[in-house]
Copies of this chain bind each other. A is one copy, B any other.
Amino acid sequence: MERIATGIPGLDEMLGGGLFPETAVLVEGAAGTGKTTLGLQFVVNGATRFDEPGIVLTFEEFPRQFYHDAAAFGWDLRQLEQENRLRVIMSSPEVALTDIKNPDGLLAQAVQATGARRILVDSLSHFTLVERDPIALRQLAFTFVNALKRLGLTALLTWERSPLLGGDPNAGEFVTFLADGYIALRYVELDSVMQKAILVLKLRGSSHARDIRQYQIMGDGLHIEAKFEGQQRIMSGYATPSMADAFVAAFGRARD
């Protein structure tokens, strides 16, 4: 089956080849873990390398900052917009939720105009500012995500978790049920250093990597690196070396 490659080094292999078309995948993590970067990378790679135009729907309020942040990774969003390969929509959650229902809305027009196949929604968690009632919120988000799919888009939805470190993976019951995939980004304290960990927890209809890997945010975006080794409780935010490894680290292996 067709796959939508993210083009992010190492990630497509974790995803068993990429995302499925017209699915929505959560990218969940704390502030600073690189959710937006991962999402932009997905959309920009589509536009520049895979001939798949894309849309960035952001609730960021500072266009200059936004374009600047992207430029720091070498992504010239304005240029891509001029080439009609990308459309950046700066909106508010309220406006986006109304617009999505309109077949002639901004988003629908952008899809039609660019032939977009990918979208980054940054961030879905802003919807919690719009609707306090959890059930109403859940239905609202469900409607929104379904509308994206109906527009033929493959979506990355960022979700910001508030405990920066620790706490179990949990984007609130209101989003896990609506996503076809779930990518968790985590800070992990390991050897007195704050590392970053990525895990593909779920990818509907596909096999995927199950190991927890390190990643770096480098000058050109995220790079997935080797899997963690000899550690326990990584996803809790505080990695603990396995006891066997601790023994070996201290004494060497007994029988070599």
The answer to whether A176 touches B162, judged by C-beta atoms less than 8 angstroms apart, is yes
Q: List residues of A (210-256) whose CB comes within 8 Å of B's CBs.
A: 210-212, 217, 227-255
Leading 6 A-B pairs by shortest Cβ distance: A32-B202, A162-B173, A243-B246, A247-B250, A244-B249, A166-B168
Given contacts A194-B211, A235-B189, whether A204 and B149 have CB atoms under 8 Å apart is no
A160 to B229, CA, bound (A): 30
Count class of interface residues, chain A: 35 or more
Contact with B along A29-48 (1 / 0, CB 8 A): 01110000000000000000
B residues less than 8 Å from A97 (CB atoms): none
A47 to B104, CA, bound (A): 45
Q: Is A5 an interface residue (CB 8 A)?
A: no
A224 to chain B, nearest CB (A): 14
Q: How many identical chains are in the complex?
A: 6
A211 to B243, CA, bound (A): 23
B residues less than 8 Å from A230 (CB atoms): 192
Q: Which of B211, B236, B249, B251 interacts with A166 by CB under 8 Å?
A: B236
A115 to B237, CA, bound (A): 43
The answer to whether A62 touches B199, judged by C-beta atoms less than 8 angstroms apart, is no
Given contacts A129-B135, A210-B195, A227-B192, whether A31 and B182 have CB atoms under 8 Å apart is yes
- In the complex, 28 of the A-B residue pairs with CB atoms within 8 angstroms, ordered by the A residue number, are A31-B177, A31-B179, A32-B201, A32-B202, A32-B204, A61-B142, A69-B204, A129-B139, A163-B169, A163-B170, A165-B169, A168-B237, A189-B233, A192-B227, A192-B228, A192-B230, A193-B212, A194-B201, A194-B210, A194-B211, A241-B242, A243-B246, A243-B247, A244-B246, A247-B251, A248-B250, A251-B253, A252-B255
